[in-house]
Amino acid sequence: MKIFKYTPVAFLLLLGYSQSVLSQELLTPVMDNPVLLGKQLQPAINAQTKKAASVNAPLTLPLYDDFTQSSVYPDQTIWADKNVFINSDFAYRSFNRGVATFDALDSTGKIYSQATFAPFMADKLTSRSIRLDSLFSPTKRALKISDSLYLSFYYQPQGLGNDPQPADSLVLQFLDTVPVPWWRTVWSTPGMKLDTFYAHYGTYCRRVNVPIVDSAAFFRSDFKFRFVAYASLSGDMLPSWQSSMDHWNLDGVKLQTDGRYNDSTERWIGFAEKAPSMLRNFYAVPYTQYSDDPTAYITDTLSMFITNRHASILPARYGYQVLQGDGTAVSSYDGGNYYIEPFLNSGYFSNRLWAKPPVRTILPIDPYGLQDSASFYVRHILKGDDPGLGDTIIFEQRMTNFFAYDDGVPELGYGLTPAGARMAVRYMLSKSDTLRAVRLYFNRVVNNANQQYYYLVVWSDDNGTPGRVLYQHELIRPTYSDSLYRYTQVLLNQPVPVLNSFFVGILQTTDDNLNIGFDRSRDNRNNNYFNVDGTWQKSQFPGTIMIRPVLGKALMPATPVAGKPKSGLELWPSVYRHSGDVNLVLDGEPVGESRVEMYDLFGRLVCSQQSFGKFNPRNCQNGVYVVRVTIAETNSTFTQKLLIAQ
C-alpha cells in the first residue's frame, strides 16, 4: 500500500508560487490531537498515576505493555510521562490493535514549542524505575549477565499517518549514571515511508531485541529506559500548510530474562484491529434511512484481523454476538474451532469463516417510523485452549440522524487551493429526506492559520457529480472542539429537501488550506470530489473527508453536536456476566475521568474504582447494585442500576 505525503514547499520555492502548482488537492499531517486536548480539561492524574506517585516503588521483572489496557495516555504504573498517544487508529497491518504513537505533539495535544525545520526532540516514552539489581522469583537473588536480559519491542514508521523524514529518527536510550546521569543511545533507526520499510524488512511491524549486558552500568535498582522520537517541521511557507507529525508506532514492549537476540514470539492470540462496522460503506447512518431499506446499508461480510504471536500453531474458537442496547440478543455467529498459524510465518488468519465472517441477518428496523435512533453492539470473541488466552472487542453500531463515512479519527488533514476551490462528499439516500445541519471536523494548524472564511454548500446530484446548488450558507470560518474528537455543527438557515443523492461540501474564499479532517480507515475516494479549475474530479486519496450531514426532524439551536439517543448515565452491558468491562456513557458520550462506587441493596460499599470510560466489577457477587459515578471534571454525580448474573 502506498502512503502519501506531500510537501509542496519545494515546488513553491522553485516556481515562485505559480498558480498552476497551487491548484491542487493536498493531504497534510494534523496539527493537534483533540483527544489529548479533551483530556487536558480533566484532572491530569488518574488512579494509576496516584498509586505510582504515592508508593513510588520500582518495577520488577518481567515488564510488558502491549498498549491494549490503557487509553489515550500510557499506563502510569509503567511509564513516567504522557507524551505519546495510546490508540487503535494509527497502526497499519500490525499484529496488535493497541499502539503507542509518537509524533510532534506534546502531552496536551499541541505541537511542541521547540518545533523547528531541523530534527528536534519530540515525543518521549520513559519507563519508571526498574529493579535490575535482583530477581525476586522464585527467590530473591542478584541478576547476572547469564540470565540473558533483553528489551524487545515492535515498531513501525508512518502507519496510517505521516512518514518521518530520513533525518528524523526513533531512538532507544538507557539511563547511565557514570560519571553523571546521562541517556546512552543503544538503538536507533532513521525515518522512512512505510512502503520503503516494508520493501526493506518484508513486514509492516518489525521486532527488535536489545540485549542488556553492561552489568556495571545498568544492573541497578533504579534502571530506566526511554524511547525518543526526533521530528521536524515540514510543509509550505504558507502557515495554513505548515505541518509536522512524523509518526512512529510502538508496540509489545517487553523487558525479561531468558531472552534471545532473535526472539520474536509470545503465547498470545487476539484481534489486530478494532471491531468493524456492520454497515457496508458507513460507520453511521440515520436510523430512519436504514429502516426504510436495510439491505442498502447492511454489509454481507465483516473483515476481521486475527493474529497468533506464538511460534507454533494455537487452537482457538471465534464467533460474534449482536446485541441490542439493553443487552438483548439479536443474532450470533459461530465460526467454529481452528488452529491459528503463527503471524510471523503466515500473517493474519486467512480462513474465511474467521477472516470474512458472514452477516446473515439485518439489524432490527423500525417499520413504523416511531424511533429516531437505535444502538446495537457487536461483540467479537476469540477463545484459546488455555484460560486467559483469547481476546474480546466490541463495536457500537449507533444509528441516529446523521451519515458518517469516517470513524471519527483524523489521521491526516485534507485541503485545497486556490481561492474558489470546492470540495464535496456524495451521500445516497434510500428515501427522500430533509437536510437540517452539517457536522465538520477541522484540524488545528500553526497559529490557527486555517480560520479563513468559506461557504458551506449543498449540491444536487448531476449524473454522479455535483450539480445545481441547493443551498449556500453565509460566510463562516472553521471552528474547533476541544473535547474527544467532537465535530462542530452548522445549522442550516432553512431546511433543504434532498432526493436520491446529494453532495455537501465547501467553497473556499482564500488560497489557504482549510485543513479538514481526513480519515484513512475506509477508502471513500469514489465519493470525495474536488474542483479547482471549473471541473469536478474524484479525489486521488484513499480515505474520507470528515463531513457528516444531519437529516430528519428539525433541530433546535441548542442540539448537541453528536446524535444522542437519551440523556443520563447508561451502563453497557446493563447485565454483567463476569467478563470484560462495564462501559460508562453519559448523555450519549463516553464518560471521562471519574470515580465509580458500587453499593449493594443494603447500602454497603462493595467496590470503588478510579475510571476512564469503563470499570470492572468482576469480583462482585451476583445481584443488583447501585452504581454511583462522580465525574472528575465537574464533580457531578450520577447513579444507575447494574445487574450481575452468570
Per-residue model confidence as pLDDT tens digits over 162-218: 899 999 999 999 999 989 999 999 999 999 999 999 999 999 999 999 999 999 999
User: How many Å apart are CA 283 and CA 301, to the nearest integer?
Assistant: 15
Amino acid in position 559: T
User: How many Å apart are CA 123 and CA 229, to the nearest integer?
Assistant: 5
User: How many Å apart are CA 15 and CA 205, to the nearest integer?
Assistant: 39
Q: Is the pLDDT of residue 52 over 50?
A: no
Query: How is 264-313 classified by DSSP, letter by letter?
Result: ---S-EEESSPPPPSBSS-SB--HHHHHH-GGGTB-SB----EEE-SSS-
- pLDDT for the residue 480: 76
Residue 557 Cα to chain centre, angstroms:
30
- pLDDT for the residue 219: 97
Residue 185 Cα to chain centre, angstroms:
30
Average pLDDT, the chain: 86
Cell of 257: 530474562
Residue 345, C-beta contacts closer than 8 angstroms, at least 6 positions apart:
none
Question: Nearest to residue 122, comparing CAs of 231, 248, 244, 250?
Answer: 231
Confidence of residue 32 (pLDDT cuts 50, 70, 90): low
Confidence of residue 445 (pLDDT cuts 50, 70, 90): confident
- Does the global pTM surpass 0.85? no
Confidence of residue 481 (pLDDT cuts 50, 70, 90): low
| Domains by residue range for the chain, with CATH | 31-256 (2.60.120.260), 269-399 (2.60.40), 412-551 (2.60.120), 569-644 (2.60.40.3080)
Cell of 345: 510465518
Q: Is the pLDDT of residue 469 over 90?
A: yes
206-259 confidence digits (pLDDT tens):
999 999 999 999 999 999 999 999 999 865 446 666 555 799 999 999 999 998
CA-based diameter of the chain, in Å?
79
Beta-bridge partners for 460: 502
